[in-house]
């Protein structure tokens, strides 16, 4: 068997083929099955998995059924290879007893995350000023029937060293952050030194939104940074500037949009935190996972962890909230809070109902609602052109009437086309081309590389310009008539000379992945006409939850149904390592 040839014939990426060839060269006597396994693993990692589960591999790789033996035989053959290591061995591949095959780097990252999470999953021995906190919670006017999970989340942040707060759109994650900061100010009165609090998010846009939100009406001004900037990650320092020996100078770190954090970045973050620091992660576990490998937030929220007797007693004492008893004593008990009440979507509101149906994978309900709200249509070029013209009408008017830069930027942010695919029909590329042709008919100079009104999205971090992957701006003239790139962060307007722009692209449409951390008044979800392995429930849910007011969907019934039936789960051993420590170890 020529493993590399088989991979190429099956349409695997060049990266997978080259890695398989590399592993073949590392073996004194090549075992084609080991070489093939390496190629399959490389492809799995490119698809966002942390590892490859050998027990499930054949179900997803039926084209190799004739050459891959029964799983127990496959495991034994890999175990005999000199390129496959056991726990503690520095080998290219690591195989666990329960049949998970890793690259050594990702196995190490996952072990680091699990170890750090378990170490931090405990109550902090900080004195609590109970009368002051009782007053704090009493003055917090709750408008939620039943348990106010926002209050429970804040209490957890005061008591635990690790807190994971998950909630859908409009459940008040930002409000929780603001109240955590206020509660920490109360807590600070009993500490010897002022608390060093840091705010961060994976992208520049998410960091800017977090900073703007927490500073509204706050006496203290907070700065939110990207995780890369916080950790000092640059092209020269890809592992950042901090470590266990030289930790971050923080006592409390609050990270928003945590679903976007991949396994390697999370490992680096946890390794860089001081032992005493508390980490508060916020995000939506139902959203798409990170672009890179792993689904850390989803793994942390995979089990309902419940609350200890001590936490329940404290919750009742400080907030008068009665929490249910928990029979299971999982390691993340008291650490995971799920916000359930949406403040953004009115009960029975259009977007709220659509988001709920998508999150539950209820295709029939979603299609019924889309039909009822007249928000669903099949794809046609004519319909897409009409939607683009109507959706971007305010933006077009603002640019053509030469409104101010903030007005143009604000008008553009009202609407966005979100695509499942980056290239091909019904893709980001196709929509951008169509929109520029529509604008050219109106006299816009879209044939030029830069034209007034061109919206752009940064695709590469630039630390000198403080522009980051995902930041959206617009090309507009300054007072002298010279075209410049304009960006707005937390209310601050910035201009960048065109010659200093990092890599960027036109952004009338963006992938659903890139839309994470953004919100628009209205969105158009554009799906491909054919089914694709990339389509899944999380993709549809993430897209719909970007909308504040209205949604329009262009997709066939079959594609919508297939997408909602498919849950895009990442293969990983993290959830087992955390909730069943000691079971998922390397052989």
**170 annotated ligand-binding residue:** yes
**DSSP H helices in 288-404:** 296-300, 309-319, 350-359, 363-372, 381-391, 393-400
Using alpha carbons, list the distances in angstroms from residue 219 to 63, 190, 192, 489: 62, 20, 21, 20
Strand 504-506's sheet: what is its strand order? Answer: 492-496, 483-489, 472-477, 455-458, 504-506
Please tell me the distance from the alpha carbon of residue 37 to that of residue 100, in angstroms, as a whole number.
12
The set of residues, in sequence order, having a beta carbon less than 8 Å from that of 282 and lying 6+ positions away, is 165, 166, 167, 173, 176, 177, 254, 255, 256, 257, 258
**240 annotated ligand-binding residue:** no
The pLDDT tens digits of the residues spanning 535-553 come to 999 999 999 999 999 999 9
The pLDDT tens digits of the residues spanning 165-197 come to 999 888 889 999 999 999 999 888 777 788 999
Q: Comparing 3-103 with 129-344, is the CATH topology the same?
A: no
DSSP category for residue 586: B
**pLDDT, mean of residues 553-579:** 93
**pLDDT, mean of residues 517-528:** 94
Decide: 21 and 542 in contact? Cβ < 8 Å: no
Q: Are strands 520-526 and 415-419 parallel, antiparallel or unpaired?
A: parallel
- Above pLDDT 90, what percent of the chain? 74
Please tell me the distance from the alpha carbon of residue 39 to that of residue 214, in angstroms, as a whole number.
46
Decide: 181 and 222 in contact? Cβ < 8 Å: yes
Cβ-based burial of 561 (10 A; exposed 0-12, middle 13-18, buried ≥19): middle
The set of residues, in sequence order, having a beta carbon less than 8 Å from that of 217 and lying 6+ positions away, is none
Question: In terms of Cα–Cα distance, which of 459, 512, 471 is closest to 203?
Answer: 471
| 587 pLDDT tier (thresholds 50, 70, 90) | very low
Strand (E) positions, 393-543? 415-419, 455-458, 472-477, 483-489, 492-496, 504-506, 509-511, 520-526
The pLDDT tens digits of the residues spanning 95-126 come to 998 899 999 999 999 999 999 999 999 877 67
CATH no. of 129-344: 3.40.50.300
**173 annotated ligand-binding residue:** yes
Q: What local confidence, expressed as pLDDT, does residue 328 receive?
A: 78
Total Cβ atoms within 10 A of residue 497: 12
**473 annotated ligand-binding residue:** no
The pLDDT tens digits of the residues spanning 238-297 come to 888 999 999 999 999 999 999 999 999 999 999 999 999 999 999 999 998 888 889 999
The 3-state DSSP class for residue 467 equals strand
**459 annotated ligand-binding residue:** no
Total Cβ atoms within 10 A of residue 331: 17
pTM of the model: 0.89
Using alpha carbons, list the distances in angstroms from residue 468 to 85, 258, 463: 38, 17, 8
Q: What local confidence, expressed as pLDDT, does residue 585 receive?
A: 42
Every domain of the chain and the residues it spans: 3-103, 129-344, 350-555
| 586 pLDDT tier (thresholds 50, 70, 90) | very low
Instruction: Supply φ then ψ for residue 53, to 5 degrees.
Output: -85, 110
Total Cβ atoms within 10 A of residue 144: 14
Please tell me the distance from the alpha carbon of residue 144 to that of residue 403, in angstroms, as a whole number.
42
Architecture category of domain 350-555 in CATH: 3-Layer(aba) Sandwich (3.40)
- Above pLDDT 70, what percent of the chain? 97
Q: What local confidence, expressed as pLDDT, does residue 232 receive?
A: 92
Cα-only R_g, the chain:
25
Please tell me the distance from the alpha carbon of residue 37 to that of residue 23, in angstroms, as a whole number.
10
Please tell me the distance from the alpha carbon of residue 249 to that of residue 408, in angstroms, as a whole number.
39
Tokens linked to 214:
């927490």
The pLDDT tens digits of the residues spanning 64-73 come to 988 999 999 9
**171 annotated ligand-binding residue:** yes
User: For 3-103, which CATH superfamily applies?
Assistant: RecBCD complex, subunit RecD, N-terminal domain (1.10.10.1020)
**283 annotated ligand-binding residue:** no
Please tell me the distance from the alpha carbon of residue 514 to that of residue 469, in angstroms, as a whole number.
9
DSSP category for residue 419: E
């Amino acid at each position: 068997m020529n493993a590399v040839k088989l991979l190429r014939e099956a349409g695997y990426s060049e990266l997978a083929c080259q890695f398989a060839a590399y592993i073949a060269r590392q073996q004194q006597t090549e075992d084609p099955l080991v070489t093939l396994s390496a190629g399959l693993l490389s492809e799995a990692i490119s698809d966002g998995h942390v590892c490859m589960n050998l027990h499930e591999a054949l179900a997803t790789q039926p084209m190799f059924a004739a050459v891959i033996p029964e799983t127990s035989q496959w495991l034994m053959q890999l175990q005999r290879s000199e390129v496959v290591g056991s726990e503690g061995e520095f080998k290219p591949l690591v195989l666990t007893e329960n049949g998970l095959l890793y690259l050594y780097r990702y196995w190490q990252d996952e072990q680091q995350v699990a170890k750090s999470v378990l170490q931090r999953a405990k109550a902090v021995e900080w004195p609590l000023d109970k009368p002051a906190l009782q007053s704090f919670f009493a003055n917090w006017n709750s408008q939620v029937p039943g348990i106010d999970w926002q209050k429970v989340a804040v209490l957890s942040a005061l008591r635990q060293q690790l807190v994971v707060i998950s909630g859908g759109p409009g459940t008040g994650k930002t409000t929780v952050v603001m109240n955590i900061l206020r509660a920490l100010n109360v807590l600070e009165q009993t500490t010897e030194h002022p608390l060093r609090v840091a705010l961060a998010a994976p992208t520049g846009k998410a960091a800017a939104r977090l900073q703007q939100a927490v500073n509204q009406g706050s006496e203290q001004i907070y700065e939110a940074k990207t995780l890369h900037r916080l950790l000092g990650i640059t092209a020269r320092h890809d592992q950042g500037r901090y470590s266990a020996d030289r930790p971050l100078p923080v006592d409390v770190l609050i990270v928003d949009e945590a679903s976007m954090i991949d396994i390697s970045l999370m490992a680096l973050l946890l390794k860089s935190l001081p032992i005493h620091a508390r980490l508060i992660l916020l995000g939506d576990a139902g959203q798409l996972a990170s672009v890179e490998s792993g689904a850390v937030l989803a793994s942390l929220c995979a089990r309902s962890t419940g609350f200890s007797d001590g936490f329940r007693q404290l919750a009742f004492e400080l907030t008068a909230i009665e929490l249910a008893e928990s029979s299971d004593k999982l390691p993340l008990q008291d650490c995971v809070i799920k916000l359930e009440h949406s403040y953004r979507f009115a009960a029975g509101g259009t977007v709220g109902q659509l988001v709920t149906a998508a999150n539950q994978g209820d295709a029939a309900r979603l299609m019924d609602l889309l039909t009822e709200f007249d928000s669903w249509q099949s794809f046609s070029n004519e319909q897409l052109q009409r939607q683009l013209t109507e959706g971007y009408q305010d933006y077009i008017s603002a640019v053509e009437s030469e409104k101010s830069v903030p007005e143009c930027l604000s008008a553009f942010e009202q609407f966005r086309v979100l695509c499942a695919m980056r290239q091909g029909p019904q893709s980001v590329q196709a929509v951008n081309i169509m929109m520029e042709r529509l604008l050219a008919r109106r006299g816009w100079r879209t044939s030029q590389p830069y034209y007034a009104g061109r919206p752009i999205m940064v695709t590469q971090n630039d630390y000198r310009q403080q522009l980051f992957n995902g930041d959206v701006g617009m090309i507009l003239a300054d007072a002298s008539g010279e075209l410049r790139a304009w960006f707005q962060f937390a209310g601050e307007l910035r201009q960048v000379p065109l010659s200093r722009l990092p890599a960027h692209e036109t952004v009338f449409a963006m992938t659903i992945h890139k839309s994470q951390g953004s919100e628009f008044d209205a969105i158009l979800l554009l799906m491909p006409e054919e089914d694709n392995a990339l389509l899944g429930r999380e993709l549809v849910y993430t897209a719909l939850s970007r909308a504040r007011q209205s949604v329009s969907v262009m997709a066939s019934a079959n594609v919508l149904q297939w997408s909602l039936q498919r849950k895009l789960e990442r293969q990983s051993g993290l959830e087992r390592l955390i909730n069943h420590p000691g079971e998922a170890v390397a052989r």
